[in-house]
């Protein structure tokens, strides 16, 4: 299947919206559910639409992103290396 046709099908199936729960942002990234680098196929079943934020969270599992994500959902978490005075 031509890649542009596949991209259009994924956007259409996902109704143009990020597929993360409680997120209604427009799709700005298409990604593999099962990572391509780990053998995931470039197919409709393995394709998914994400907003920029959720794709960044998925692709950058660092403390900073987790902190940002926690702020996004309103959870306060302690910051490592900061001691109370």
- Quick check: 20 binds Zn ion (CB under 5 A)? yes
CA 48 – CA 51 distance, rounded (Å)? 10
Pick between residue 5 and residue 23 the one whose CB is nearest to Zn ion.
23
**What x/- string results for residues 22 through 61 when contact with Zn ion is judged by CB under 5 A?**
-x-x-------------------------x--x-------
Q: Which position has the token pair 């992103």?
A: 65
| Contact predicate 33/46, CB 8 Å | yes
Residues in the chain: 85
**Chain contacts with Zn ion (rule: CB under 5 A):** 18, 20, 23, 25, 51, 54
């Amino acid at each position: 299947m031509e890649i542009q046709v596949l991209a259009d099908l994924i956007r259409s199936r996902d109704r143009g919206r990020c597929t993360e729960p409680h997120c209604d942002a427009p799709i700005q990234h298409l990604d593999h559910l099962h990572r391509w680098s780990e053998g995931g196929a470039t197919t409709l079943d393995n394709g998914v639409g994400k907003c920029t934020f959720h794709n960044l969270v998925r692709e950058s599992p660092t403390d900073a992103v987790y902190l940002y994500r926690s702020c996004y959902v309103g959870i306060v978490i302690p910051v490592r290396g900061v001691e109370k005075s």
